[in-house]
Amino acid sequence: MSDRDPNNDNTPEDKPDHRPRFLQVLHSVLAALFGVQSGANRERDFQKGKAGDYIGVYVIMVIALVVTVFIVVSIVISSATGG
């Protein structure tokens, strides 16, 4: 028999001040950009995350997306015009 109390689980995920790691924030932002965020992750983000972390990652991801689209469109136009 285990003397571990299921109501006193001290994993880092259960601590109220434990913020999500960078990869968790990145995963949440990517999922939100594509509209496939799970309810459990959304709850974790709102309860334990800081808005500044998500806003910063989101701004970087949007800038990366815009730059990527610009580069792809430039390559396609360059190929189409033969130059």
How would you write 31-51 as a 3-class SS string?
HHHHCCCCHHHHHHHHHHCCH
Q: What is the pLDDT of residue 9?
A: 52
Range of the domain at 74: 14-81
The reply to whether 2 falls in a domain is no
**More confident site: 22 or 17:** 22
Q: What is the pLDDT of residue 82?
A: 80
pLDDT in tens, 32-80: 888 898 899 899 999 999 999 999 999 999 999 999 999 999 999 999 9
The reply to whether 1 falls in a domain is no
Q: Number of structural domains, the chain?
A: 1
The reply to whether 4 falls in a domain is no
